[in-house]
Amino acid sequence: PETITIQELANRMSERGVDVIRLLMKQGALHKITDVIDADTAQLVAEELGHTVKRVAESDVEEGLFDMPDAEDALESRPPVVTIMGHVDHGKTSLLDAIRQANVVAGEAGGITQHIGAYQVTAPNGAPITFIDTPGHAAFTAMRARGAKVTDIVILVVAADDGVMPQTIEAIHHAKAAEVPLIVAINKIDKPDAKPERVRTELLQHEVQTETFGGETLEVEVSAKEKLNLDKLLDAIILQSEVLDLKANPERSAEGTVIEARLDKGRGPVATVLVQRGTLHIGDIIVAGSQWGRVRALLDDKGAVCPSAGPSFPVEILGFSGTPEAGDRVAVVESEARAREITEYRERQRREKLVARGGGARTSLTDMMS
Ligand code: GTP
Ligand code: MG
């Protein structure tokens, strides 16, 4: 149910909190300024104090912000967004590094590559692929819990000398729950004790049927260390993404998700955002969670300035007034007033939830003591 604190109600009417409390007292209810009242009571109070009430539901404030349908003929192919998962020490980071180096132009090799948590590489056929470097499964779960579906394909890294381990199984479950296809990368095949066949058999026990066993799950034997078969892995990603037929409308206002965000000493809040639909431009007014801003600069994964960012493109955004959170969805809005309306609304919601939770805790404590 919709609720509001007495303080907030008073603020919005530019009335004094005590006057609201007094009015409620007249109706027989005893309240403190921090108490939460329901929307109907709030409306009565407001009307009693001579205000015109316009009730705005969350669905109204956020109306049209996300997921407005696109015309079929406006859709264009977009690059796949890939997340690498697997058990600890199975070589996720090494594989990412190897893939990235294989694609970084010679002059940049060994240079400083800025870590932005997401980057794009080019497959042998010239097609771009976006990789998201999730810090761990917890972050992936948190994002999914918040409704942020960012990844199209999961690369499951399994070390050939170690086999399927607890976090391998966890990753399989994550991918299944998110309905995202897996590509198995059997890593460390350069090792003398590598047993890729054993990995396939173990995966079968967890309902991952690789092609070798007549299943549909693509698999590639790789070595991150020796840079073996990395092209094959990229080809498998491209093949899988063709099957998925990934599309988005680039000609609309941008929507995306915050991958990570931090407060930079010199540059202020910096958010790495994956654009998922539309194209983001410098000057756009954006909202993310309870933060908003005007895009001041867009930087790609190599730190180069770009004028705009289309679907599946990861960019660093400068210009937020505060630091948004990983998993926050990003949308472009038409005006600063609209951005303020949305973010202030969300901030109120957040505060009211906190107050409500605080109230709940006190109640249970009283219950325990009585
Ligand atoms: P966490 O981030 O801790 O979960 O590990 P990770 O999965 O990112 O593994 P990481 O890339 O850090 O590799 C773990 C160890 O395995 C390192 O010592 C790597 O050098 C080694 N390693 C990774 N890939 C290969 C490979 O293909 N062959 C061999 N021989 N060693 C590898
Ligand atoms: Mg790692």
Q: Which atom of ligand 1 is nearest to the CA of 222?
A: 27
| 133 annotated to a ligand binding site | yes
Q: What is the pLDDT of residue 111?
A: 40
Tell me, yes or no, if the pTM score tops 0.80. Answer: no
Q: Report the greatest alpha carbon distance in the chain.
A: 83
The residues placing their C-beta within 5 Å of ligand 2, an ion, are: 92-93
| 70 annotated to a ligand binding site | no
Q: What is the pLDDT of residue 335?
A: 93
Write the residue with the smallest CA distance to atom 23 of ligand 1: 91
Distance 90 CA to ligand 1 centre (A): 5
Distance 98 CA to ligand 1 centre (A): 11
**Nearest residue to 27 via CA among 37, 12, 15:** 37
- Contact predicate 260/100, CB 8 Å: no
For ligand 1, residues with CB inside 6 Å are 86, 88-94, 187-188, 190-191, 223-225
The residues pairing with 217 across neighbouring beta strands, listed in sequence order, are 210
| 99 annotated to a ligand binding site | no
| 87 annotated to a ligand binding site | yes
| 206 annotated to a ligand binding site | no
Q: Is 190 exposed, middle or buried (0-12, 13-18, 19+ CB in 10 A)?
A: middle
**Distance, CA of 40 to chain centre:** 35
Q: Which atom of ligand 1 is nearest to the CA of 88?
A: 4
Token pair for residue 154? 């999961």
Distance 99 CA to ligand 1 centre (A): 14
Which run of H or of E encompasses 46? Answer: helix 39-48
| 187 annotated to a ligand binding site | yes
- How many C-beta atoms surround the C-beta of residue 148 within 10 A? 20
The residues pairing with 77 across neighbouring beta strands, listed in sequence order, are 247
Residue where the block lists tokens 């819990």: 145
Q: What is the pLDDT of residue 331?
A: 96
For residue 207, which phi and psi values (nearest 5 degrees)?
A: 60, 30
Q: What is the pLDDT of residue 295?
A: 98
Distance 134 CA to ligand 2 centre (A): 9
Helix, strand, coil abundance in the chain, percent, nearest 5: 35, 25, 40
- Contact predicate 266/296, CB 8 Å: no
Give the number of the ligand closest to the Cα of residue 85. 1
What's the rounded Cα separation, in Å, for the pair 41 and 52? 14
* Predicted-complex ipTM score: 0.98
Distance 92 CA to ligand 1 centre (A): 7
Distance 103 CA to ligand 1 centre (A): 20
pLDDT in tens, the chain (370 residues): 678 889 889 988 889 999 999 999 998 999 999 999 998 899 999 999 999 887 766 557 777 788 788 999 999 999 999 988 889 889 988 898 899 875 544 334 444 344 557 888 988 888 999 998 765 555 666 666 665 678 999 999 999 999 999 989 988 998 898 899 999 999 999 999 999 999 999 999 999 999 999 999 999 999 999 999 999 999 999 999 999 999 999 999 999 999 889 999 999 999 999 999 999 999 999 999 999 999 999 999 888 999 999 999 999 999 999 999 888 999 999 999 899 989 988 888 888 788 777 654 444 343 333 3
